[in-house]
Amino acid sequence: MDLAGKDPMALFLEFLAQQWILTLALLVAIALFFYHESRKSGPTLTPQMAINMINSQNAVVLDVRDSKEFQLGHIVDAINIPAAKLEARVAELEAHKNQPVILVCKMGQHSGAVGKQLRQQGFEQVYRMSGGMAEWTHMQLPLVS
């Protein structure tokens, strides 16, 4: 078979068609990897679910944005520990170890790594707020500045 004259994209598509079982296995493995990684950092909550958990279970909101962003507006009674400083300041959360902890960041993308760190420190009830503060403000929920 002469490969020199074929378009690389055509070769790639031909490979995918011929090796569909390998391709499917790879896609499943990738999906399972991302699912597993997201579960290690804690399940996600919508802002409304977070409000319900705060009110019914006395959940603690941990805002992991930097101090400047936090001062511009944050959830009432939120604790601000920037993600980069969590390791040094995790002792501040020790009193809340048995409470649900809801992680909030700017857009819901950086709280996963913080969730993993907290779980390693023995926090069992760690949740991430999907959409972060961007979703919170989009829903026009109250902020304190």
Number of H helices, E strands in the chain: 7, 5
82 — phi, psi (to 5°)?
Answer: -55, 145
Considering 105, 114, 126, 129, which one is annotated as catalytic? 105
> What residue type is assigned to position 12 of the chain?
F
Q: Please calculate the CA angle 27-31-33 and round it to the nearest 5 degrees.
A: 115
| 60 bridge partner residues | 101
User: Is 106 in the active site?
Assistant: no
| Site of tokens 């990684």 | 37
Residues annotated catalytic, as ranges: 105
